[in-house]
Amino acid sequence: MNPGHVEAYVGLAAMLIDQARYGEAEKLLDQAKGVSFQDVNMYVQLGVLAQRQGKPDEALDWYRQAGEFGGDSISLILIDLLQRYANHEATLAYVQESVAQHPDDMELLLRLARIQRTTGNYSDALAALLEAAKLNHVDARLSAELGELYLAQGRPQAALAAYRQTINSEPEEPTYYLAVSDIWRGQGDFDQAAQMLERGIERAVRPGLLYVALAELYEQQGESTKAQALLERGVERIGENDVQLMLALGPYQEAPADQAAEDPRPTSRRSSRRQLPEENWEELWYKEQLARFANEPSVRIALANLYLQEEREDDAIELLKQAIVLGPTDAGNFMALANGYSRIDNVDEAIAAYLQALVLEPTLVDAYTGLAQLYVEQRNPEQAEAVYKQGLSIAPASGDLLTQYAAFLLQEGEAAQASDLLQRIDQLAPSAATLAARAALFVAMDREDEALRDLMTAISKEPGSVEALVALGDYYLDVGEARNARETFQSAVELLPGVAIGRLRLNAMTR
């Protein structure tokens, strides 16, 4: 390495940061500072390093210095980093200043809209998008951001129209087909949802995840054989190098035909797990994928989840730890480990994993809710409340955080504070799922009329939501209307026969 080139030190330090080798990276960046105090990328990497070490204030200082030296050339990188690490106030100030200097910059306007949406300032987000539309109204990112804004406002039909424009502008991007299909599912039009995925399979450049999504839709409709056949066709078409497609085939594995004739073991994907055969074909399949995708953490996570279902806890945790070794800076791997520890009731280790996930990605709502629940289990309400408050400072428009924090406050006897939180939902998170969750809390607060209003609104917004139907059935049970409850649960079963929750509720009523 040339001792006179600061770029060499910074480039190697960036590689070490990605490998979680923070001590070595810090030494290299110290050496870089000895060569030059004006290298923009050096300050960026110092900020990333501080963030990964759990020093957000120090990271913000480094980012500010990068902005001072880099000017316009570094602005987009800094904005993305600041938002990724949940420095919302700094992000908004920096973006607004940049937009004031460059009002015709499409990239800046899109980022301004995103940060406003993230913090629940929906009217300001829309204003930024309208300005962006004056520059390029057919940009796929513009209509996609508009679709996300409409979803945040609980307006799925408007989101659907926006995303149609997105697909017309950029038909090769698979995630757009997923977004539209999800909206159609919520509307209860599963034919349209399937057709959108089929269209994406034909047109998108990376169709593997679309095959997986369509197979999941078939499963929800109780068509397991059709789902398996689709996945197999996907492998025939795009090959065996798509890891998610190969993993999706795992639950369908069974004995070869010549062995099955001699061994009439159960082959249903749902029944075979409870009565393990002599050969666990799903396990063998995942092990084959381990050989094929040796450096892919998701394969180990998939096999670990199978082991957790089979109560092979030590094997599962070992695989989850291996996934972290392969991806030490991927917050998703720590989330998987946290979930694994939670399932085996190792609360301390689960908490540690959640905390590390939040260091890597401070905007993970599921990490805040999971962590808070664990503190509740430890009978540590002060720490649980601190986590909820921190989460809402990061994601103030999260319906999950608003409803779960409100539920916590109710348990702590703080009904007035809980009520204040629930009122925010109308403005910040009026989605069907959030309204259904709020309804359950209204029932607990003896506010049945408001609960029923929320449930009916949720179902009108998303008539295809099994969760909303089940919540309505639960409401009827709570108010003593067993007949209505039974009919509602039956409607959930008929809507999506492959989703177990409606049938479980019916069975519980029968018992």
**In the structure encoding, which two tokens stand for residue 158, read together?**
């408007």
Ramachandran category for residue 86: left, alpha or beta (phi over 0 → left; psi -120 to 50 → alpha) = left
pLDDT in tens, 434-453: 999 999 999 999 999 999 99
Residue 71 predicted with pLDDT over 90: no
Question: Per residue in 435-466, is it b (16+ CB within 10 Å) or e — as a string?
Answer: bbbbbbbbbbbebeeebbebbebbbebbebbb
178-208 per-position pLDDT tens digit: 999 999 999 999 999 999 999 999 999 999 9
Q: Would you say residue 105 has pLDDT above 90? A: yes
47 pLDDT band, cuts 50/70/90, is very high
Give SS3 for 400. helix
**How far, in Å, CA of 213 to CA of 382, rounded?**
40
Asked if 456 and 438 count as a contact pair (C-beta separation under 8 A), the reply is no
- Give the integer Cα–Cα distance in Å for 366 and 378: 18
Class of domain 431-511: mainly alpha
Please give the pLDDT value at position 276: 46
pLDDT of residue 275 exceeding 50, the answer is: no
Indicate if the pLDDT at residue 278 is higher than 80.
Answer: no
Q: Report whether pLDDT(216) > 90.
A: yes
Among 51-55, 113-117, 153-157, 314-318, the range scoring the smallest mean pLDDT is: 51-55
User: To which H or E segment does residue 321 belong?
Assistant: helix 313-326
User: In the 8-state DSSP scheme, what is residue 188?
Assistant: T
State the chain's maximal CA–CA distance in angstroms.
80
User: Residue ranges of the domains in the chain?
Assistant: 431-511
Q: What b/e sequence results for 362-390 when a residue is b if at least 16 CB atoms lie within 10 Å of its CB, and e otherwise?
A: bbbbbbbbbbbbbbbeeeeeeebbebbeb
For 413-435, how does the pLDDT look when each residue is reduced to its tens digit (9 = 90+)?
A: 999 999 999 999 999 999 999 99
Tokens of 205: 């450049």
Q: What's the whole-number mean pLDDT along residues 75-97? A: 88
Residue 467 is inside which H or E element, if any?
helix 466-478
**420 alpha-carbon distance from chain centroid:** 27
Q: Which residues of 171-195 are buried (b: 16+ CB within 10 A; e: fewer)?
A: bebbebbbbbbbbbbbbbebebbbe
Q: How are the residues of the chain apportioned to helix, strand and coil, as percentages rounded to the nearest 5?
A: 75, 0, 25
- Looking at every residue in the chain, the average pLDDT score rounds to 92
Structure tokens at 62: 């480094």
Its pTM stands at 0.89
